[in-house]
Structure 1
Amino acid sequence: MRTLTTLLLLFCFATAATAQKKGRWENLSSLDAWRNFKSPTVNEQWKPIPKGFMLAGKGGGDIITKNQYENFELHLEWKISVNGNSGIFFHVVENDDVKYVWQSGPEMQILDNDGHPDGKIKTHRAGDNYDLQSCTVETVKPPGQWNKVKLIVNKGKVEHWLNGVKVVEYQLGSPEWEELYKKSKFKDMPLYGKGGKGHIALQDHGDQVWFRNIRIRSL
């Protein structure tokens, strides 16, 4: 009887913890919450800074959250170096068929629009749904200044917010999404945008980039 009661109590505690976790903010500002893609550790080129971390130089590799997320709201701040390029990915799948985070995870672009060559390409600018959809309005700040991101993914509906403005909106799997996907460089990648659940990733594109005040909550 005591064993049954103990099991019931443990079940109740576990259920309560799960319910509490949904909607509760989780701090991702420490590198302890991250690891390199397909690696248990984080490369030393990723270095702590106050309230966050930075990619100090080439060779750091893309990093992903240790946890996976399906429906979520992600907040963070980023700043990029002059002529720099990086990105924020979600629903990143980690398996033998995926060699890079961008083969599965849709990207919210990070870029020095005026300095990097990609700034001349529509759908490759800061805040864009990379290579699929451009921002409705440009709100990005110059290199060296902090930009505020809110990325919402809920039942396939995705919103990119940059510096307090919703700049991109789309529905994963919709006819409109499929048309954009078929015209993009990802058209031959069958898992692109199809994960449904996965890791958040931050990109090493060979340029210095800073991230801070990173937090996420499940929806």
Structure 2
Amino acid sequence: MKIMLSMLARVVLLALVLNVVNWTSSDASGPKKGKWVKLFDGKTLTGWHSYLKKEASDKWKVEDGAIVLTGGGGGDLVTDKEYENYELELEWKISEGGNSGIIYRVHEDPKYKSTYNSGPEMQVLDNERHKDAKAGKNGNRTSGSLYDMLPPSDFSAQKVAGEWNQVKLVVNNGKVEHYLNGKKVVEYRTSGPEWDKMVSESKFKGWEGFNQFSKGHIALQDHGNKVWYRNIRIREL
């Protein structure tokens, strides 16, 4: 009888140990990530529309597996769905002297005339030729920057106009990271004293709806210059 009780105690103890190990392992890994989902099928603009419109403008086209802005006046292209916490990956290529951007937390409402009235922007730019590269402060309008607020930590991360650049944007519980060609170039929180200070020193000072929505659309900016986007996918966190 004593032997049986001893064996039972060992089994119970082992089960408790395994439960602790499993709990610790699960806790260390953090929240479970979703599956990668394509936001662009490489053939159509399904899942996208022009800002404040029902469909995508004919200025936005699909060519050779990429979304292309062929001319200005099409309006920013935005996702049909809204997103809150996620990893976004894509590739972009800018024309010589070109300007565009990836804007997130976009709140689609006629009271906001443009996507950047509500959403912060990861800049897309030809740093060598576009005047915005030398505007702003300390390079905070160059490629990879948090537009008009934070410059990239590495100005050499961008490839030249006409070449594809790889981007990752991580938005997770108020923390945002910008990656350009494999390098993390910007990191910030979207609330708190540091954020408030950055906004107060930027063009967005006093803008009513700027960064007021934790969930929103993702936008590709029409700045009037030809730009290409491809391999766009998202994984919700």
Scaled by the length of structure 1, the TM-score of the pair is: 0.88
- What is the 5 A alignment of 1:92-171? 92-121=106-135, 122-138=139-155, 139-171=157-189
From the CA coordinates, give the structure whose radius of gyration is larger: 2
SS of residue in 1 equivalent to 2:196: helix
SS of residue in 2 equivalent to 1:180: helix
**CA RMSD for the aligned pairs?**
1.3
Q: Which residue of 2 aligns with 1:185?
A: 203
Identity %: 49
SS of residue in 1 equivalent to 2:46: helix
SS of residue in 1 equivalent to 2:123: strand
SS of residue in 2 equivalent to 1:32: coil
Task: Check the 8 A contact 2:52/2:110 in 1, yes or no.
Answer: no
The runs of 4+ residues in structure 1 deviating greater than 6 Å are none
SS of residue in 1 equivalent to 2:197: helix
Amino acid aligned to 1:71: N
- Aligned-pair CA distance for 1:33: 1.4
Scaled by the length of structure 2, the TM-score of the pair is: 0.82
Within the candidate set 193, 197, 201, 1:175 is matched to 193
Q: Which residue of 1 aligns with 2:34?
A: 23
1:195 equivalent in alignment to 2:213: yes
Q: How many correspondences in the alignment?
A: 199
In structure 1, how many angstroms separate the alpha carbons of the residues matched to 2:133 and 2:40? 28
Task: Check the 8 A contact 1:52/1:214 in 2, yes or no.
Answer: no
Q: Which residue of 1 aligns with 2:81?
A: 67
- Aligned-pair CA distance for 1:106: 0.3
Unaligned runs of 5+ in 2: 1-32
Amino acid aligned to 2:92: W
Q: Which residue of 1 aligns with 2:27?
A: none
- Aligned-pair CA distance for 1:165: 0.1
Task: Check the 8 A contact 2:107/2:213 in 1, yes or no.
Answer: yes
- Aligned-pair CA distance for 1:51: 3.0
1:84-128, CA deviations, whole angstroms, 9 ceiling, x for partnerless residues? 000000000012321110001000000000100011122110000
Amino acid aligned to 2:151: S
Unaligned runs of 5+ in 1: 1-21
